[in-house]
Amino acid sequence: MSRTSPLLKFVFNYKRFQCRIPVVPVRFVRADGISTQIINAVLDSGADTITIPQDLATWLQLKLEPRDTPAMTAAGTIKAYKAMVPELILGQGGRDVHYKNIEVCVMEKCPYILIGISPIFEDYKVTVIASQRQFILEPLGKNDSELSKEAIQAIEAARKRMDKGHYYTEEDAKKILGID
């Protein structure tokens, strides 16, 4: 797995959803470049990796391989497969982080897409504020050496603009991007 864009700080609200569990907007991209629409996936600290239903794996045209061990779920152990997703995009509205060649767990009867420890919890400090139905993903900053030279330059340029006072407030950025 490789991340191909800099990590961003995210603040996600899930008040508009009836469920009381944190959901994160993601998209999956097939090898031919076709992307899913934004999918609200469950942020799951109990999952080792990203887990997707077999129907999505079929649409993504993934090659399924047997896992070394069965998947452990709240319902017990379940037969599962592993596959490589060409690209996972976390975020929306132009504020997104791209992951390439990411291994996922595929289960036949998986009711939700689960975003687990790898890669999100490895790259981010995750703070859930359940009373406000909000969570914050704050970059750990440990992976800057993996970024391309261009990405590092873009980050530095943005930091310089911020130091000079040239930046949008979070509210202004949300209005510009059409995010509530």
By three-state DSSP, how is residue 30 classified? coil
d(CA 68, CA 12): 34
Half-sphere exposure at residue 47, Cβ-oriented, CA atoms within 13 angstroms: 21
Q: Amino acid identity of 3?
A: R
Task: Read off the pLDDT of residues 151-178 as tens digits, 9 standing for 90 and up.
Answer: 666 666 666 666 666 666 666 666 665 6
Task: Read off the pLDDT of residues 12-55 as tens digits, 9 standing for 90 and up.
Answer: 888 776 777 888 999 999 999 999 999 999 999 888 899 999 99
- Residue 103 confidence (pLDDT): 94
Summary mean pLDDT of the chain:
83
- Residue 83 confidence (pLDDT): 96
Domain boundaries, the chain: 2-142, 148-180
CATH assignment of 2-142?
Answer: 2.40.70.10
| Of 180 and 164, the one with more pLDDT | 164
Closest Cα partner for 94 from 168, 156, 165? 168
Beta sheet of 134-139, edge-to-edge order: 10-13, 134-139, 124-129
Residue carrying the six token digits 């391989």: 65
In this prediction, residue 3 has a pLDDT band, given cuts at 50, 70 and 90, of confident
